[in-house]
Amino acid sequence: MSEPATVRPAATILLVRDQPEFEVLMVKRHHQIDFASGALVFPGGKTDPSDHDPAWEALSVGWAETPADERPLRIAAIREAFEEASILVARHPSGDVFHGDERAAAARAAVSKGEESLMGLVRELDLRLDLPALTVFARWITPTMMPKRFDTWFYVVRANSDQLAVCDGWETVDAEWIAPGEAIRLAQAGERTVIFPTRMNLQLLAEAESGEDAVRRAGARTLVTVLPKVESREGEQVLVIPPDAGYGAVAEPLAAIRG
């Protein structure tokens, strides 16, 4: 039996807003991307070496209050939101929220392609990444039988309504604000592809009544790491997750699951 694939750290961000209704930002993955191609997902991806740069201390809000092992994950989540949807979770030195500008919008493609660094842009704009704006929502580890595995931290943050979401056209081909329940409905109707972890977290998010409520609920939950496992029940292979993780009793037929 071969050894399980190496688990790589990753971060995903659930940007939520309440106008015109309670919605979350989702992006559609490019069909040529090798992971979750064509699927509707939250912005996110694996961490980059630049996310671990200690120089971020001077360019972040809440550095000391953020656990050291979470700092690169939160930076990765913020970076991915900027690269994939052009939303930068940051503040000015005065503490005012960054509302976006033409320079940031123009630099997004170059940052996404690695031609320009996010750190350089943040320095140029005299901004600070807003680490405390992110609240831990969930943590999922890809099952051992999968060829690519990630230890993914999900963060929820109330989005700045002044910043427009624009897909990058490279990793993502569409960006849309959508009610969590509507995203689930579209997936059930076969009108959108939504992979298993995304669907489970959409269902958890849909329990909230607003963005503020979603953040409050996430902050009050005890974090239980989800490592789905395969079990045989009544002659059928099913994927199960810890019953105390907040998703209820889950036993999904393995044949019906994507991702």
> What mean pLDDT, rounded, does the chain reach?
89
In 3D space, the residue among 231, 194, 143 whose CA is nearest the CA of residue 24 turns out to be 194
Whether residue 192 has pLDDT greater than 70: yes
Q: How far apart are the first and last CA of the chain?
A: 22
Decide: helix, strand or coil at residue 98. coil
pLDDT band at 164 (very low <50, low <70, confident <90, very high): low
Decide: helix, strand or coil at residue 227. coil
Omega into 4 within 30° of 0, i.e. cis?
Answer: no
Whether residue 205 has pLDDT greater than 70: yes
User: Tokens at residue 236, please?
Assistant: 């059928």
pLDDT (tens digit, 9 = 90+) per residue, 141-157? Answer: 999 888 899 999 999 99
Whether residue 199 has pLDDT greater than 60: yes
Q: What is the dihedral of CA 130, 212, 220, 239, to 10 degrees?
A: -90
pLDDT band at 259 (very low <50, low <70, confident <90, very high): low
Q: Check residue 80 and give its pLDDT.
A: 94
Decide: helix, strand or coil at residue 91. strand
Judging by beta carbons within 10 Å of its beta carbon (0-12, 13-18, 19+), is residue 126 exposed, middle or buried? exposed
Q: Please state, in angstroms and rounded to a whole number, the distance separating the CA atoms of residues 62 and 66.
A: 6
Omega into 147 within 30° of 0, i.e. cis?
Answer: no
Q: Check residue 171 and give its pLDDT.
A: 52
Residues contacting residue 69 through CB under 8 Å, at least 6 positions apart: none
Decide: helix, strand or coil at residue 229. strand
In 3D space, the residue among 244, 247, 254 whose CA is nearest the CA of residue 200 turns out to be 247
Greatest mean pLDDT among 120-134, 170-184, 189-203: 120-134
- The structural architecture, per CATH, of the domain 7-222 is Alpha-Beta Complex (3.90)
The pTM assigned to this predicted structure is 0.91
Q: Check residue 160 and give its pLDDT.
A: 73
Decide: helix, strand or coil at residue 130. strand
Q: Please state, in angstroms and rounded to a whole number, the distance separating the CA atoms of residues 98 and 105.
A: 12
Q: Any idea how long the chain is?
A: 259
Specify the DSSP element, H or E, that contains 81: helix 71-85
Q: Check residue 35 and give its pLDDT.
A: 45
Whether residue 172 has pLDDT greater than 70: no
Q: What is the dihedral of CA 202, 154, 60, 165, to 10 degrees?
A: -30
pLDDT (tens digit, 9 = 90+) per residue, 110-131? Answer: 998 889 999 999 999 999 999 9
Whether residue 94 has pLDDT greater than 50: yes
pLDDT (tens digit, 9 = 90+) per residue, 210-250? Answer: 999 999 999 999 999 999 999 988 888 899 999 999 999 89
Whether residue 170 has pLDDT greater than 50: no
Q: Strand 7-17 to strand 149-158: parallel, antiparallel, or no bridges (unpaired)?
A: parallel
Average pLDDT over residues 189-216: 94
pLDDT (tens digit, 9 = 90+) per residue, 24-52? Answer: 999 986 444 444 446 889 999 999 999 99
Q: What percent of the chain has pLDDT over 90?
A: 70
Task: Count other C-beta atoms under 10 Å from residue 181's C-beta.
Answer: 14
